[in-house]
Structure 1
Amino acid sequence: MPCRRFLTLFMAVAILPLAACGHGKQKKVAGMAPSRVTTIGINAYIWRAALETFSFMPLIQTDANGGVIITDWYVNPASPNERMRVAVAIFGDDLRADALRVSASRQILREGVWVDDPVDASTIQKLEDVVLTRARDLRRTAMSGE
């Protein structure tokens, strides 16, 4: 029992400072949701949008504090001879295009062996645009109070 009390006390003391993170750092313009959300160390709108965008792919790693999302290989049932995996990095707490980097790897199945195939830069740009558009939509929804 003393060990349980110690653990409970330790957890309370360890978590208490985190409760204050982000308070007082943002100015809210009347009628506007903040574009900077700092409670997890990165922009929460971009984080949520990235998770939603790549939710159909199996996730290997997610780290909200570091702003990293890594997926496992995904094979589209409509294209079983091709697979992709994605890595997302979110930098900073502002909702800005330069706060997001998406990289993707693609492989083609040739004679029973997966072979690396380049991913077009335009595909990467489209993926980033999808995430950023969704993040802006999430912010807009927060502004309207829905």
Structure 2
Amino acid sequence: MKTMTLPKCIKKHAFAISLVAFMALAGCAETRNPEMLVKPKNHLVGVDRGAEGGNDSLRGGVNAFIWRGALDTLSFMPLASADAVGGVLLTDWYVPPTTKEERFKIAVYVLDRRLRSDALRVSIFRQVHLSRNSCGEDGWEDTPVAGETVSDITARILERARQLRAHNL
């Protein structure tokens, strides 16, 4: 069996080595064609808010005054979740110190970027403590909230939002 020395091996495979080296170097080249560059996308609406300009209807987010008004108004309750981009604020169950037999949970949805009453939706959940249910266990039972409670909380949030806006101007 005949063994090739290193120089003969290189001479024999010079074309293949040159081809591999050329391809490796060609892969390092970079073209700066502006059409091939990808514009950054907004993860909420799928467009670049800054580069396109103009159309404000594509902007995500919620009204900052309503959001802050909701946080301030419900600050006495423990927060379970707060999503400022999506405009969702959820409290955990709150037991008022005066009535230990009932508890409340509130969900606030900020629906628009404008400071308007229809940009806010409030849901309130109420439960009453049962000392013994039908199975003989302690528990909580869902009960309706007084009709004016939702409108009162909504009015307080909007009032606080207007105060924040007035102080900001």
Normalised by the size of structure 1, how large is the TM-score? 0.71
1:51-101 Cα distance to aligned partner (Å, 9 max, x none) = 111111111111111100001100011111110000000011000000000
For 2:145, give the aligned amino acid: V
Pick aligned residue for 1:100 from 94, 111, 120: 120
Aligned to 1:117: 143
Normalized per residue, the structure richer in strand is: 1
| Equivalent position SS for 2:100 | coil
Q: Higher Cα Rg: structure 1 or 2?
A: 2
> Which structure has more RCO (C-alpha within 8 Å, separation ≥ 6)?
1
Q: What are structure 1's unaligned runs of at least 5 residues?
A: 1-12, 27-38
Aligned to 1:133: 159
C-alpha separation between the residues in 1 aligned to 2:54 and 2:96?
45
| Equivalent position SS for 1:75 | coil
For 2:147, give the aligned amino acid: A
Query: Does residue 41 in structure 1 map to residue 67 in structure 2?
Result: no
Q: How many aligned positions are there?
A: 118
Q: What are structure 2's unaligned runs of at least 5 residues?
A: 1-39, 42-47, 132-137
For 2:127, give the aligned amino acid: Q
Aligned 1:1-146 pairs, distance under 5 A: 41-111=61-131, 112-143=138-169
Q: 1:48 to 1:19 in 2, by over 3 A?
A: farther
* Identity score, percent: 44
Runs of 4+ in 1 over 3 A off after TM superposition: 18-21, 23-26
Q: Contact 1:106/1:117 (CA < 8 Å) preserved in 2?
A: yes
1:88-134 Cα distance to aligned partner (Å, 9 max, x none) = 00011000000000001001112132111101221100000000000
C-alpha separation between the residues in 1 aligned to 2:54 and 2:148?
39
